[in-house]
């Protein structure tokens, strides 16, 4: 029996407080492939938390040089997710806020919904989540706090907890 994996979206940001904005968005598709784009900050996006940079390892200078324009990233997300209609996030409160900011400044509406990943998890899966996630990180050598890899990590953790609870 082949299981369809949820499409997972993850966002890295300039910080976590007021004034923070998205700097990278990544998705893990249902087929397990993943993709991410750095986002070029707008002139009015000035908040920068050095602690956040220590986590994700992305400098503001790198974003200015390698980032894609806000509108282009929003269009890519719509193209990727319009048909599915939804994607899932483990940090819905933060990610939905940053996604709304991205689309607002792009002058576009998202053609998909972002939902909390936890709505897909049974109580048993939730109980196993943390240990399963750390096991996947160790086995796969995943580089944490990059949007594409974090989205794939969440997807693999979901799959692992499904497998573990199916065998109980």
- The reply to whether 109 falls in a domain is yes
- The reply to whether 35 falls in a domain is yes
- The reply to whether 30 falls in a domain is yes
- The reply to whether 121 falls in a domain is yes
Q: What is the pLDDT of residues 22-79, one digit of tens each?
A: 999 999 999 999 999 999 999 999 999 999 999 999 999 999 999 999 999 999 999 9
- The reply to whether 150 falls in a domain is yes
pLDDT given at position 168: 63
Q: What is the pLDDT of residues 103-125, one digit of tens each?
A: 999 999 999 999 999 999 999 99
| Integer Cα distance of 163 and 152 in angstroms | 16
- The reply to whether 2 falls in a domain is no
Mean pLDDT across the stretch 128-142? Answer: 93
- The reply to whether 104 falls in a domain is yes
Residue 87 belongs to what domain range? Answer: 8-166
Q: How many residues are there in the chain?
A: 168
pLDDT given at position 1: 36
Q: Which residue did the predictor score with more confidence, 141 or 82?
A: 82
Q: What are phi and psi of 4, to 5 degrees?
A: -85, 125
CATH assignment at residue 75: 3.30.420.10
Q: Which two tokens stand for residue 90?
A: 């483990």
Residue 143 has pLDDT above 80, yes or no: no
User: Number of structural domains, the chain?
Assistant: 1
Q: Which residue did the predictor score with more confidence, 158 or 168?
A: 158
- The reply to whether 3 falls in a domain is no
């Amino acid at each position: 029996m082949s299981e369809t994996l949820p499409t997972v979206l993850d966002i890295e940001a300039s910080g976590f407080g007021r004034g923070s904005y998205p700097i990278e968005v990544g998705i893990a598709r249902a087929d397990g492939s993943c993709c991410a784009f750095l986002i070029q900050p707008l002139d009015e996006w000035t908040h920068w938390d050095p602690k956040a940079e220590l986590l994700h390892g992305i400098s503001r200078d790198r974003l200015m040089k390698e980032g894609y324009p806000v509108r282009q990233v929003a269009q890519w997300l719509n193209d990727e997710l319009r048909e599915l209609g939804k994607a899932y996030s483990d940090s819905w409160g933060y990610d939905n806020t940053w996604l709304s900011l991205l689309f607002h400044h792009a002058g576009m509406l998202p053609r998909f919904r972002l939902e909390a990943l936890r709505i897909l998890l049974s109580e048993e899966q939730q109980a196993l989540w943390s240990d399963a996630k750390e096991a996947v990180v160790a086995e796969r050598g995943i580089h944490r706090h990059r949007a594409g890899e974090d989205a794939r990590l969440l997807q693999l953790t979901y799959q692992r907890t499904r497998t573990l609870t199916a065998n109980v």
